[in-house]
Structure 1
């Protein structure tokens, strides 16, 4: 009898989480092996070039660098604040005895007893806590990048000893962006899990839609790859000497 109440939750929700995890493992693998077939890999390369340009043209570009980093930090701060507010609301619901803890008992598929409700809210709360943790670490690293990127002549060290280089700042910047991305993806997963309150079927449907949308946002389309290949071939052809000059 107890299994009849839990079997949908025990099958569909882990399946949805595994699907989300497998997609991001595949995305990580593609970014590592074929970075320019993904938006993340292309943007990573662009950020490294941007950091190098900001350091070389420090006197001209320092305001642009500070404003750009400030905008990124403001976005991460907004997400971290939202996670804290959601965690506070979920904690208040868990600790209360209000009837919202048992919504639509007769209409919800899956388990909806006291233990099930506690598991649902605690799972969602844990996801948002980790999202806040990722965003807060990202803010810390991005603030440090904002300081280091404005040091003039970062790579010039008369003694020849390593202390600060543009590569180090780029690595710091990439770690901050990675943590910000992880926080965002955990936030998306938390919103899908919030539908678990109304049943596990909605969780699976939400994750399927989310993976479909993220796939089209994370990967470069085949037409774009063909266009890049065509442009590269044209550039290589233009570099060759023409037959009439022989």
Structure 2
């Protein structure tokens, strides 16, 4: 009987987790091939220009650079703290002697045995741990860029170059983005506690929202071109 109840989980949960995975693989290809059509690609180019502008006029903008990067570190620190707190809470729930599946026996669609409940909570725990890892490494790279962005670059034989600082900052922001996307993936897994159908629904809704946020609309550019042609 328990095996029959697992049918929905075996079919819908992999499908719900596959949707965000396929979307982010497509987004990665889009960023690599057409970066100007994505928010991630445009922001990456803008950060490199910002680093070069800071280095060019470092005597006047050094405080601005430190404050801006500090705000970025604070955001990553907040998300890392949130992730590790959620990990601690989930670890306490898993190790508790109280049976967490008792209140859900009559409301959950699909399997809700002890093994399935443990699997759901352990999956959530791993997701938050990976998110914490990404945020922690991101803070490390951004901290290094925070120190090196005020390094003098006059010497031709300098080991630290503007491109190196740009690469450090980009690695930090890339890991922060990966951590955010892993953190978002916890929502479908969290809803899995209440049934596998919600996993597919929430994954589809999340992919549609991220699609709207990740891509740049070209309506404004088209309107400007049309106005110029009319003139």
- Per the TM superposition, whether the score is higher than 0.5 is yes
Deviations 1:177-224 (A, max 9, x none): 000000000001012211111111111111111111100000011314
2:45 counterpart of 1:45: yes
2:199 counterpart of 1:179: no
2:144 counterpart of 1:141: no
Deviations 1:7-26 (A, max 9, x none): 11111111111110000000
* Residues in 1 aligned to 2:207 and 2:5: alpha-carbon distance in whole angstroms: 28
Q: State the Cα distance separating 1:99 from its structure 2 match.
A: 3.5
Within 5 Å, give how 1:90-129 maps onto structure 2.
Answer: 90-129=90-129
Give the ranges of 4+ consecutive aligned residues of structure 1 lying more than 2 Å apart after TM superposition.
99-103, 224-228
> Aligned-residue CA RMSD in angstroms?
1.6
Q: State the Cα distance separating 1:34 from its structure 2 match.
A: 0.4
Alpha-carbon contact 2:187-2:202 (below 8 Å) kept: no
1:192: which partner in 2? 188
Q: State the Cα distance separating 1:162 from its structure 2 match.
A: 5.2
Secondary structure of 2:118's aligned partner? helix
Q: 1:2 to 1:122 in 2, by over 3 A?
A: same
Secondary structure of 2:179's aligned partner? helix
2:76 counterpart of 1:80: no
2:55 counterpart of 1:55: yes
Q: Which moved more, 1:191-200 or 1:18-27?
A: 191-200
2:212: which partner in 1? 216
Deviations 1:106-144 (A, max 9, x none): 110011000001110111111110000000000000011
**Unmatched 5+ residue regions in structure 1?**
235-246
* Residues in 2 aligned to 1:189 and 1:201: alpha-carbon distance in whole angstroms: 15
| Bigger CA radius of gyration | 1
Alpha-carbon contact 2:2-2:113 (below 8 Å) kept: no
Q: State the Cα distance separating 1:101 from its structure 2 match.
A: 3.8
* Residues in 1 aligned to 2:187 and 2:114: alpha-carbon distance in whole angstroms: 21
* Residues in 1 aligned to 2:207 and 2:111: alpha-carbon distance in whole angstroms: 26
* Residues in 2 aligned to 1:102 and 1:221: alpha-carbon distance in whole angstroms: 48
Secondary structure of 2:100's aligned partner? helix
Secondary structure of 1:100's aligned partner? coil
TM-score (norm 2): 0.94
Q: 1:122 to 1:174 in 2, by over 3 A?
A: same
1:15: which partner in 2? 15
* Residues in 2 aligned to 1:113 and 1:23: alpha-carbon distance in whole angstroms: 31
* Residues in 2 aligned to 1:102 and 1:54: alpha-carbon distance in whole angstroms: 58
**Unmatched 5+ residue regions in structure 2?**
none
1:237: which partner in 2? none
* Residues in 1 aligned to 2:85 and 2:187: alpha-carbon distance in whole angstroms: 13
Number of matched pairs = 228
